[in-house]
Amino acid sequence: MLRRLFEKKHDSNPSASAPGFAGPRTSRHSGGWSALRKRLQADAGLHVIDIGSTSPSNINYLTSLGHSIFLADLVDDACNGNWQSGTDEDGNPILNVEAYLEQTLHFSGRTFDVVLLWTALDYLPEPFVVPVVERLRSAMNPGGQVLAFFHTKRQGEGSEYCRFHVTEGDSVEMQLMHPFPIQRVFTNRSIERLFAQSSGFRQFLAKDNVSEVIITF
């Protein structure tokens, strides 16, 4: 579900490190994070959504810059929640998308400037993907930006579901999480279609089968 708001006035060293972290952190260079970090350092008082289990390091860094941060664990909630509301004529599960959105992305009228989406869209069940993007888009302030990562291969090294932790430099730290399978691989064209209502689209090339995109609304 949508976690509580963390602001600069809150405890800067929260102890709620979420369960499920499975291994040490590994560092990778991130052109997308490097570019977005410059905005986070230049603009004060932004409202940020960080997708994934509670990351004390992310909370500490973002609140130290004067930003507010919300946490939403989209993938864990999607894969572990009971969202099936029936089956279709072929026996395939029908998922209650609206109930999922209300639990994970209920903003109570709040709007946001930055979304750290990471690789969440690669792991969500198909019926959730477009509604999640639309819910996020509808809550973005003008000029709001989404940092999203996309795998270019469904299997092999680097395809594991990871939590991303930000740093003060041009890298992010990856930490293995639950073994959720990748549901799909997005092409550049399918990413552009998914974010068709955006006003800007900047891609960053990487060497580890992960592409990075900053989408501006």
Residue 20 is assigned to a structural domain of this protein: no
Q: Give the Cα-Cα-Cα angle 159, 118, 41 (nearest 5 degrees).
A: 140
Residue-level pLDDT at 155: 83
What are the average pLDDT values for consecutive 10-residue runs of the chain, which has 217 residues?
53 42 85 98 97 96 97 95 90 92 94 98 97 97 98 85 97 93 94 95 88 97
Whether residue 146 lies inside any domain: the answer is yes
Considering the domain boundaries, does residue 14 fall inside one? Answer: no
CA–CA separation, 201 vs 216, rounded Å?
Answer: 6
**H helix runs in 19-125, sequence order:** 31-42, 56-64, 74-80, 97-104, 120-123
Instruction: Give the total number of structural domains in the chain.
Output: 1
91: domain CATH number?
3.40.50.150
**What pLDDT, in 10s, does the model give residues 11-60?**
434 433 444 555 789 999 999 999 999 999 999 999 999 999 999 999 99
* pLDDT at residue 3 in the model: 56
Q: What is the pLDDT of residue 159?
A: 86
Whole-model pTM? 0.91
Pairing of strands 93-95, 162-166: unpaired
pLDDT of residue 4: 54
Establish if 97 belongs to a structural domain. Answer: yes
Count of beta carbons in the 10 Å neighbourhood of residue 200: 11
H helix and E strand count, the chain: 7, 11
**Amino acid symbol at 87:** T
Please check whether residue 15 lies inside any domain of the structure. Answer: no
Does 175 reside within a domain? yes
Q: What are the pLDDT digits (tens) for 52-70?
A: 999 999 999 999 999 999 9
* CA–CA gap between residue 200 and residue 94 (Å, rounded): 34
Does a structural domain hold residue 13?
A: no
Domain limits for position 98: 25-216
